[in-house]
């Protein structure tokens, strides 16, 4: 499981690692009361490869993310584009 936490309209994590070639559970913890957040996974070219539901906090939801090929990705909140996590799939 990979956990991403949103608080004060920022992600607490600056970078993450996921296992390449294997689907994974993405847990989004939204600690911002009444503020909507989501996670969109983008490949190195910026192409979206997966997107969670958008939901207001305070709430936690889990999503089944697809396997990612080895490489660099970004997790970004599309509601607040300044919220970005650099992710390596290894």
- pLDDT, residue 62, reads 98
Q: What is the mean pLDDT of residues 26-55?
A: 98
Summarised one tens digit per residue, pLDDT across range 42-90 is 999 999 999 999 999 999 999 999 999 999 999 999 999 999 999 999 9
- Please state which architecture CATH assigns to domain 2-89: Sandwich (2.60)
**Whole-angstrom Cα distance, residue 12 to residue 85?**
9
Number of H helices, E strands in the chain: 0, 10
Q: What is the pTM of this model?
A: 0.96
């Amino acid at each position: 499981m990979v956990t991403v936490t949103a608080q004060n309209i920022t992600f607490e994590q600056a970078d993450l690692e996921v296992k390449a070639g294997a689907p994974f559970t993405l847990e989004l913890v939204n600690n911002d009361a009444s503020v909507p957040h989501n996670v969109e996974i983008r490949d190195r070219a910026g192409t979206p490869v997966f997107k969670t539901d958008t939901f207001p906090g305070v709430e936690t939801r889990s999503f089944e993310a697809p396997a990612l090929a080895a490489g660099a990705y970004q997790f970004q909140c599309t509601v607040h584009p300044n919220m970005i996590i650099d992710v390596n799939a290894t």
